[in-house]
Amino acid sequence: MIFVDTPAFYSLLDRADANHVAASERWRRLVADDVELVTSNYILVETTALVQGRLGMAAARDFHEDIMPLLTVYWVDSRAVKT
């Protein structure tokens, strides 16, 4: 199981990012090896906003259609927060 955060998603989607090649190679290996890729609902919102703002709607659509279906999403809500 690997937790995936916004910078990894962004590097995967932005071909001009300095880490794009490494991120793409790593992503393909993880998917091929059937590694569970985990993130949270907060990360999905953050990534969508960042990608849409910097790379446009097509990239945001790619994120939602090509990457999100491969993820296990843990939902953070008020029940998950201990006070």
For residue 32, is it within any domain? yes
Query: For 17, what's the count of Cα atoms within 13 Å in the CB-facing half-sphere?
Result: 18
Locate all alpha helices (DSSP H) within 1-83, ordered by sequence.
Answer: 6-13, 20-32, 41-55, 57-62
Per-residue pLDDT of the chain (83 residues; tens, 9 = 90+): 999 999 999 999 999 999 999 999 999 999 999 999 999 999 999 999 999 999 999 999 999 999 999 999 999 987 766 65
CATH number for the domain harbouring residue 45: 3.40.50.1010
Tokens of 7: 């910078």
Total of domains in the chain: 1
Its domain, for residue 26, covers 2-74
CA gap 70, 37 in Å, rounded: 7
Rounded (10°) CA dihedral 41, 43, 46, 52: -90
